[in-house]
Amino acid sequence: MKTKIFSFVLILTALVSYGQQNAQFTQYMYNTINVNPAYAGSRGALSMFGLYRAQWVGLDGAPETSCFSMHTPFSNSNVGLGISLINDKIGPTNQNDLSIDFSYTIRTSEKYKLSFGLKATGYLFNLDVNKLNPVDQADPQFQNFDNVFKPNIGAGVYFRSDRMYVGLSVPSFIQGDAYNDNDVAIYKTKINYYLIGGYVFDLGPDVKFKPSTLIKMVEGSPLQVDLSANFMFLEKFTVGAAYRWDSSFSLLAAFQLSESLNIGYGYDLETTNLENYNSGSHEIFLRYEIFKNNGKMTTPRFF
């Protein structure tokens, strides 16, 4: 019976996160490396990126995510290398993901490039049962799961020019159990499929417009579709809005503080019944870039 209660609590945790398997980001257009390894090195610089997301603020046990990534082209070759770390907390669970990314790029024409990528990831999963407040703390059924390690591998392709991009990726190919209770799988990792794309339009000498999308498919969960529209002014200030289908509406803003430093903020307002129990979701990011190819970045700087 206690095992059933234990499983039920975990199922509720999964439902609250809407079947969220991989960490979810509203500003995915700045954070492509986490879902597609073929993106590594595509910015032509050593690009360092950090993001913090507090989801469903005010809801007890709501997801909280921190991530850091760094990627760069390797010398003057067609190779890109990257590394990323994600910490994802949901209720009593805490997962750390460390990934290494490799990409190889070929020029398909004067304007277009095609990149292929591989991602190797190690997951450390923790469950603090004490946060579930069991009646009998000594019950062997209610045990902590500390540093359960699982390796995985993923891949992606990324096609781009200075104006457009489209990518298809599967960050993790291996499905499995994060942990088991009495030989029964309590939590399973599932394959996440990502399709991303965007295009940059010139609306004037100092204004650029980029619509973009991220489509995510996970077995057993509804199709997730993110649509966004961003405007860049004077190559400095970006403002926009986004919509996650049947989930939330977002406002986005970013500012290029210097040639190397970019800062951005995003706010999500729920459109589901959850809006009655939280005050929205917040994201903030910093990106810093050095060692640019040929001493300058390729414009436009939307992706």
Which residues make Cβ contacts (< 8 Å) with residue 61, sequence separation at least 6?
13, 16, 90, 91, 92, 131
**Predicted pLDDT of residue 142:** 56
Query: pLDDT band at residue 178, thresholds of 50, 70 and 90?
Result: low
**Predicted pLDDT of residue 11:** 36
pLDDT digits (tens, 9 = 90+) for 208-239: 999 999 999 988 788 999 999 999 999 999 99
pTM of structure = 0.85
**Predicted pLDDT of residue 179:** 56
Top pLDDT among 148 and 8 is at: 148
Top pLDDT among 139 and 78 is at: 78
Top pLDDT among 182 and 102 is at: 102
Window from 14-18, 100-104, 248-252 with minimum mean pLDDT? 14-18
Q: Taking all residues of the chain, what is their mean pLDDT, rounded to a whole number?
A: 85
Share of the chain above pLDDT 70, in %: 81
Closest by CA to 72, choosing from 103, 97, 45, is 45
Give CA–CA dist 207/186, Å, rounded: 50
pLDDT digits (tens, 9 = 90+) for 99-121: 999 999 999 999 999 999 999 99
**Other CB atoms closer than 10 Å to residue 92's CB: what's the count?**
19
pLDDT higher than threshold 80 for residue 22: no
Query: pLDDT band at residue 144, thresholds of 50, 70 and 90?
Result: low
What is the per-residue burial (b if ≥16 Cβ within 10 Å, else e) of 233-272? eeeeebebebebeebbebebebebeeebebebebbbebee
**Predicted pLDDT of residue 75:** 81
Share of the chain above pLDDT 90, in %: 59
Q: Which CATH number fits domain 2-295: 3.40.50.300, 2.40.160.40, 2.60.40.10, 3.40.50.2300?
A: 2.40.160.40
**Predicted pLDDT of residue 213:** 96
